[in-house]
Amino acid sequence: MKPVIFGLAGLTIAPDERAFFAESVPAGYILFGRNIDNREQLRALTDDLRALHGDDRLPILIDQEGGRVSRMKPPHWLSFPPGAAFDRLYDIAPASAIEAARINAEALALDLAEVGITVDCLPLLDVAIPGGTPAIGDRALGQEPMRVAALGRAVLDGLKRGGVLGTIKHMPGHGRAMVDSHMELPRVTASDEELEQDIAPFRALRTAEIGMTGHILFEAWDAERCATLSPTIIETVIRQRIGFDGLLLSDDLDMKALAGEVPDRAARAVAAGCDIALNCWARMDEMIGIADALPDISDASRARLDRARAAINPVHDWSHQAELLARRDALLALV
């Protein structure tokens, strides 16, 4: 098995992809809008991926946050609110906001479980900073670390009740970035003491099964390498200081915050301490290069992957989704 998660090009597994995936054996897959048409098609695709590997617990990921980051869209699927909706409710009714976030995440997870998706790249635990990049913006759960942690925990719990694992991101914190890491490398000049509030939500939720790095350079910790490529940050900040021992994914390797060829980026991310490299764009030449550049998954990373896989318990009854949404909407109406 290779320590990589791959994307796919289209609505079905193409013949060249099928042969390559069977030979390279990636740790899982991630889906995007180009892979999604309707419920029947999407369920057939995820069933086909599981059959290809003979693996009922195959991690199949998606970015389905709600708001502007939603790969599954109307009319076939519901719209869900962004994190800021629960942040606003928390201002007047913290307990109601936590319950609304949990219910919303469970209802969202039922949409994913119905079509065979097992992992959602949610919640964001990035503590928002005034003036930060709009790339985070209304996706964030707030500007106060313990509020972000409380709402993030509710999201993780709700997703799991709906049969889906969550992913805490973007470790060790994207909130201070002033530019979008999709387009360029953010440099954070805050001191180690100031960065304590950024890592606090991740420390509070450090027992999550899956986490994701951010392509952010923190001068106080490593003045030369962003978190995804920094052995110092991954070992001393994420693993030791935060105490996270779950499966650590890189963020998307194709983002312009990273330099060099994509296969080299994957190799550097895994060498730095990421358990899994995330390659989203399904370009066959790059995927072949990644498979050639990466070693087989390490024993430690395989153990973390197996722990995450064991926590995947898909549900098979989504008939109560409407009830959940009605309860959520009643709570959000308090704002």
Catalytic residues: 182, 251
Q: What are phi and psi of 86, to 5 degrees?
A: -80, -30
Q: Which pair of tokens denotes residue 39?
A: 């419920």
